């Protein structure tokens, strides 16, 4: 991770195909295309890769979450349970629909704690969204059971976990709807792009229409298409889809490299008694996009994080003080700093943030170090890196 590290002639060929026929938009202009439909091809390839019946490409992972929620009927005043550790896009995508993000604690999987989810359910809860952060997963069986018990929509944000599996199923394909991101720093990239995947034909049809101004996409004359309901513009372009088409075909190659590099790092750090690793639920296999480990306490984690930076060990983070991925520094969210008035339903629904604390999440995030696994490292580089990380940690614990 990320796929841009290994761009090749495969990506260039797909992009040049689009430039040669001149149609950059995914819909319409049938006569000019000469049979080139990159977005359609990518949707087919993703369907095969994920084992999902339906795939709708969109403009970003953030768009994928909003489209997935809208496709399932989530909207104004509905509550969506989500984790404290994610990316700011999670609550942005929920609030865009007028729905209310309800943040709950994570556990040692670094994703939703099922007990915290159960406690947070109210008569306004419409959906639960697990975010498979840093390449791994939550307790999917427990979360699925909770959603079935309470008749809730189960959304799986697998934007950082493409290539991971749970009990043989690709992450993103397990819940009612799955969401993916193909932005510039994901394991496979389109530059910008995302996807909604589902086995539910109604959800798929809704996602297809909603992401393109409500167009029904029936027939071959775009100007004659009808609009069964309101929609917005979350379309991906053919240029972006072309890059992703080459990249998804290389996904097994990328995962194999990630696993090799991950394993070298983990084996080295496993020799340090004070280092433990995130819990991967039984039957799960990470995508190996990140190595996540715990240190004894926050102070030690901060020292190690600083030690890594001072000694040239890059792409490693302690998210406790990060303002993109963890609740502590999301002041613009907690203070509702917006360019436009927030609806009364959302404003009232977020009152809990003024007094809510997340000690359990602090316990796990504070002690965690997350290291991105690069595809471009040579074996010599990864072994040198592993030895350096081991030495730094041993000198500080």
Residue 71 pLDDT > 90:
yes
Tens digits of residue pLDDT in 269-316 = 999 999 999 999 999 999 999 999 999 999 999 999 999 999 999 999
Chain-centroid distance, C-alpha 234: 17
How many residues are present in the chain? Answer: 397
Question: Could you tell me what percent of the chain has a pLDDT over 90?
Answer: 99
98 by Cβ neighbours in 10 Å (0-12 / 13-18 / 19+) ranks as middle
Return the pLDDT at 210.
98
Looking at residues 342-370, what average pLDDT do you find? 97
Q: Is the pLDDT of residue 230 over 90?
A: yes
Confidence of residue 88 (pLDDT cuts 50, 70, 90): very high
- Predicted local distance difference test score (pLDDT) of residue 136: 98
Check residue 1 and give its pLDDT: 87
Return mean pLDDT, the chain: 97
Averaged over 23-45, what is the pLDDT? 95
Query: What local confidence, expressed as pLDDT, does residue 60 receive?
Result: 98
Write down all domains in the chain, each with its CATH number in brackets: 3-250 (3.40.640.10), 252-394 (3.90.1150.10)
Residues 316, 368: Cα–Cα separation, whole Å: 10
State mean pLDDT over 48-62. Answer: 97
State pLDDT tens for residues 119-135.
999 999 999 999 999 99
pLDDT in tens, 246-273: 999 999 999 999 999 999 999 999 999 9
94-116 pLDDT tens trace: 999 999 999 999 999 999 999 99
Pick 35 or 14 by higher pLDDT.
14
Let me know: does 105 contact 361? Beta carbons within 8 Å: yes
| Model confidence pLDDT, tens digit, residues 161-201 | 999 999 999 999 999 999 999 999 999 999 999 999 999 99
pTM of the model: 0.97
């Amino acid at each position: 991770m990320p796929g841009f590290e290994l761009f090749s002639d495969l990506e260039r060929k797909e992009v040049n195909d689009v430039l040669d026929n001149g149609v950059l938009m995914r819909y319409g202009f049938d006569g000019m295309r000469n049979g080139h439909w990159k977005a359609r091809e990518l949707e087919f390839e993703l369907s095969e890769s994920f084992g999902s019946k339906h795939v709708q490409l969109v403009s970003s992972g953030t768009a994928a979450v909003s489209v997935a929620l809208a496709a399932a009927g989530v909207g104004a005043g509905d509550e969506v349970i989500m984790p404290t550790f994610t990316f700011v896009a999670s609550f942005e995508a929920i609030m865009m629909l007028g729905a209310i993000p309800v943040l709950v604690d994570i556990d040692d999987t670094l994703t939703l704690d099922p007990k915290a989810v159960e406690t947070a359910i109210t008569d306004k809860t419409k959906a639960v969204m697990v975010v498979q952060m840093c390449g791994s997963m939550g307790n999917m069986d427990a979360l699925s059971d909770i959603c079935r018990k309470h008749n809730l929509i189960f959304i799986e944000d697998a934007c950082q976990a493409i290539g991971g599996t749970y009990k043989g199923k690709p992450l993103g394909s397990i819940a009612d709807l799955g969401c993916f991101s193909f932005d510039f720093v994901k394991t496979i990239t389109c530059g910008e792009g995302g996807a909604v995947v589902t086995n539910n034909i109604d959800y798929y049809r809704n996602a297809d229409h909603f992401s393109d101004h409500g167009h029904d996409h029936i027939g071959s004359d775009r100007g004659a298409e009808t609009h069964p309901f309101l929609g917005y513009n979350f379309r991906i372009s053919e240029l972006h889809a072309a890059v992703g088409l080459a990249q998804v075909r290389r996904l097994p190659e990328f995962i194999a490299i990630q696993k090799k590099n991950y394993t070298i790092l983990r084996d080295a750090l496993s020799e340090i008694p004070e280092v433990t690793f995130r819990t991967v639920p039984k039957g799960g296999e990470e995508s190996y996009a990140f190595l996540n480990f715990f240190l004894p306490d926050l102070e030690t984690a901060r020292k190690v994080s600083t030690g890594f930076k001072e000694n040239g060990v890059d792409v490693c983070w302690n998210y406790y003080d990060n303002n993109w991925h963890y609740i502590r520094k999301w002041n613009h969210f907690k203070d509702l700093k917006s360019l436009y008035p927030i609806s009364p339903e959302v404003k009232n629904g977020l009152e809990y943030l003024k007094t809510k604390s997340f000690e359990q999440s602090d316990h796990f995030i504070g002690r965690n170090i997350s290291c991105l696994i690069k595809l471009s490292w040579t074996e010599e580089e990864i072994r040198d890196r592993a030895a350096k990380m081991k030495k730094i940690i041993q000198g500080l614990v």
